[in-house]
Structure 1
Amino acid sequence: MTTGRVLKWLGPGLMALALTACTQVAAPVQPVLKPLARPDVPIPAKAAPPVVAKPTSEASAQLRSYLNQVQGAQLSQGLLRRDGGGTDTPFTNTMLARNFEQVAFYNEYNSSFSGRGGPSPLRRWAAPVRMDVIFGAGVPPSQRSSDGTEVRNYATRLGQITGHPVTMSSNANFIVIIAGEDDRSEALAAAAARMPGISASSLAVLNNLRDDTYCVVAAYASGSGPDTYTAALAVIRAENPSLLRLSCIHEELAQGMGLANDSPGARPSIFNDDDEFALLTRHDELLLKMLYDPRLRTGMTADQARPTVQKIAIELTGGGPV
């Protein structure tokens, strides 16, 4: 996507972060309360207060205006396509295998975010992925409803594509934050409180985003395997107009599954900084299928995986152009 838009926090640096941030805190013992006498007349349940979005700041309003201009300019140039590719974007098994290697075996950024990342072993989830959404206080109810539906539908689609369990759950290990400038820090703190081993202070980098960073995903490997994801956190600016928000949902959640890099040669694909495609394409679905193919193992290098990757790519394309 656009330069600076997608900031991946992946690889060995995150492993150290997750381990050093892990703190065991004993849960307080709750007192046992005596039951109250049952009233003669049932007490009606209190209705939940309606969700009312807080007014936005000038900074948030200006950012929203800027991002609307960005989306308008991209659409006017024929970018942010939603057709998934077509006759103008054919690809072969050789291209698919090459693109998978570039996207799955490299980091987009180094551990200090000061430059491009280097080669990396294959990374993906072993445990089922359980997603949930945290909205900032300023996100209006209509947007919460539409964005929540998009995340739920896309989570189902990711599970179907990969064959790996991906569901929505309040006991989440993959949290999607949709929040604005005024409430992102509170949403990050709420996410940290729900994710063992991840402190609010460790997420500070996700709170300080450049204006041209529309969304970001961080994946964590804090278990016994340094290349096996155990948690992930995506942050999507609520100020993004609808198509950019949906594009962020598609890219960040897919990259949080293990496709960590972008490649200028990947087409038709959302794993490309050119913004040509807004939504997951047929090509990208095949990349996700390859990522979770049982013939590949977490921790494999590109050299180790290449013969198997080429074989899988031939199988998925039938050996000819797609």
Structure 2
Amino acid sequence: MRRILIFFMVMAISASFPARGSSDSFTTDEILFGFEKTVFGLEYRNWGWRPYLVKKFTSPVRFYIHNLSRRDRTRTVRRFIGEINRRVTGLTASIVNRPADANFEIFVVDRKQYKPVVRTDVYKNPKARVPGRCLVRVVSGHNGIKHSSAVIVSDEGEFLFRRCLVEEVLQGLGPMNDNEKLPHSVFNDSSRHSRFTVFDQIILNMLYDPRIKPGMSIKQTKDFLPLIARDARRRVR
């Protein structure tokens, strides 16, 4: 039986000044470094296997939005999903009407709901420890990501909500590591980004290039990754 791997990512936020840029603002080396650090790694490494392999969806991503918070954030979440669909070539994202039809569920909660929702709907364990200020769970196998679930806190300010939405949903698509040496990226808990940055658009376009396959190691991508970075940069404006 093929092994299915489950990953959890949590988020902590600190402050610095945001860095903006266009697709030609970064060197190829910066882009390759960013891809390596976000795609080939996990923020939490207690898995007992080699986690440093490509994780991505290989079928259309079907989102379902559970808006459980007092404030209805559905429109904002739908708009961000639409942005992903427009900006990432090779990934098709849609919103479905039933949780049973989804392979990516987004739970928008108030803080008091965070732990119960994570334990009941994500961990499936009423006694589980619940870390972080928001969270994504990714179930991945040999043929790619099977299911992701993101839990986004709505009632602790606009910055936290938007930051959590962007980072956790993008990480649920595959680039699951954070790195403090990525100033242009939301995949850096020391940054103040709360949007889908140009740098991160390039990373996602590289990941969803059809030449990048689930289960690939960094060694297997080394020879053609600069070409993929060049092509992704051209697609991102």
TM-score (norm 1): 0.61
Cα deviation 1:91-137 (Å, max 9, x = unaligned): 11121012101111111112369xxx97511110012111122233x
Is the partner of 1:160 in helix, strand or coil? Answer: helix
The aligned amino acid for 1:214 is R
1:91 pairs with 2:18: no
Name the residue aligned to 2:92.
Answer: 165
Q: Which runs of 5+ in 1 are unaligned?
A: 1-10, 18-69, 193-198
The root-mean-square deviation of aligned C-alpha atoms, in Å, is 3.2
Q: Greater strand percent: which structure?
A: 2
Name the residue aligned to 1:51.
Answer: none
Q: Which runs of 5+ in 2 are unaligned?
A: none
Asked whether the equivalents of residues 65 and 108 of structure 2 are also in contact (C-alpha less than 8 Å), the reply is yes
Name the residue aligned to 1:103.
Answer: 38
Cα deviation 1:217-273 (Å, max 9, x = unaligned): 11012xxx4361111111122332012101111111111000111122223111112
Identity, % of aligned positions? 23
1:127 pairs with 2:119: no
The aligned amino acid for 1:178 is V
Question: How far does residue 186 in structure 1 lie from its aligned partner after superposition?
Answer: 5.0
Asked whether the equivalents of residues 57 and 144 of structure 2 are also in contact (C-alpha less than 8 Å), the reply is yes
Name the residue aligned to 1:216.
Answer: 135
Cα deviation 1:165-219 (Å, max 9, x = unaligned): 1111122221111223433355447746xxxxxx7228934xx23xxx2211110
1:250 pairs with 2:166: yes
1:315 to 228, 231, 234: 231
TM-score (norm 2): 0.81
Q: Distance in 2 between matches of 1:200 and 1:239?
A: 24
Distance verdict in 2 for CA 1:202–1:301, change over 3 Å: farther
Distance verdict in 2 for CA 1:174–1:246, change over 3 Å: same
Q: Distance in 2 between matches of 1:248 and 1:182?
A: 16
Asked whether the equivalents of residues 139 and 147 of structure 2 are also in contact (C-alpha less than 8 Å), the reply is yes
- Correspondence list, 1:295-310, <5 A: 295-310=211-226
Asked whether the equivalents of residues 220 and 231 of structure 1 are also in contact (C-alpha less than 8 Å), the reply is yes
Q: Distance in 2 between matches of 1:292 and 1:298?
A: 10
Is the partner of 1:250 in helix, strand or coil? Answer: helix
1:14 to 6, 12, 15: 6
Q: Distance in 1 between matches of 2:190 and 2:115?
A: 29
Question: How far does residue 292 in structure 1 lie from its aligned partner after superposition?
Answer: 0.4
Is the partner of 2:148 in helix, strand or coil? Answer: strand
Distance verdict in 2 for CA 1:242–1:316, change over 3 Å: same
Largest Rg, 1 or 2: 1
Q: How many residues align?
A: 225
Name the residue aligned to 2:183.
Answer: 267
Q: Distance in 2 between matches of 1:292 and 1:158?
A: 12
